[in-house]
Amino acid sequence: MNYQQLFQMQKGLDSHIESNHGLEEEDLFDRKILALLVELGELANETRCFKFWSLKPSSPQETVLEEFVDGIHFILSLGIECGFYGEKDFDVSVKKTVSVNDQFLSVYEAIGKFRTSRSLTDYKELMEVYLQLGEILGFNSSHIEKAYVDKNEVNFKRQAEGY
């Protein structure tokens, strides 16, 4: 994946949003953390992986991918917030024995750890466990990158329309 391009696109979107909403001087870190947690919950809801009481299947892959990419937006934005936008390599090897549920819980744990430390090491771990979740859900880097670019355009359009 071309992380430099994704970081640049996210930086442009973040700047646009902050300028339009008068947030240039605001510390948005915790709000972005909360937004990421909410997006992760929305993603889990679309996969229905935890709904042991229900027979209803997961949402279509396109819907799950769109929710997954919403999380990528906030992870990139958090990296920019902490000055980590020069990073370009993340390890996405997946342990095949990990269940979707376990991976979701690992992402939640990584978010909490990163929130406390704000360290590059914990940021990389967050990005890696999230990308591993994507792989478990059936997405490869080209799926993710294309969906990110598409959603970034949608996000700019939404801002222009007063979203």
Quick: pLDDT tens for 100-156.
Answer: 999 999 999 999 999 999 999 999 999 999 999 999 999 999 999 999 999 888 887
| pLDDT of 94 higher than 70 | no
pLDDT score for 70: 96
Determine the Cα–Cα distance for residues 108 and 7; give it in Å rounded to an integer. 22
The amino acid sitting at 66 is E
Judge whether 90 and 128 are in contact, CB under 8 Å.
Answer: yes
Nearest to 134 by CA among 87, 75, 54, 78: 75
Confidence of residue 161 (pLDDT cuts 50, 70, 90): confident
pLDDT score for 91: 64
pLDDT tens digit string along 11-39? 999 999 999 899 999 999 999 999 999 99
**Token couple for 133:** 């979740």
| DSSP reduced 3-state for 139 | coil
pTM as predicted: 0.91
The amino acid sitting at 94 is V
Determine the Cα–Cα distance for residues 8 and 5; give it in Å rounded to an integer. 5
Determine the Cα–Cα distance for residues 133 and 20; give it in Å rounded to an integer. 33
**Token couple for 12:** 């442009």
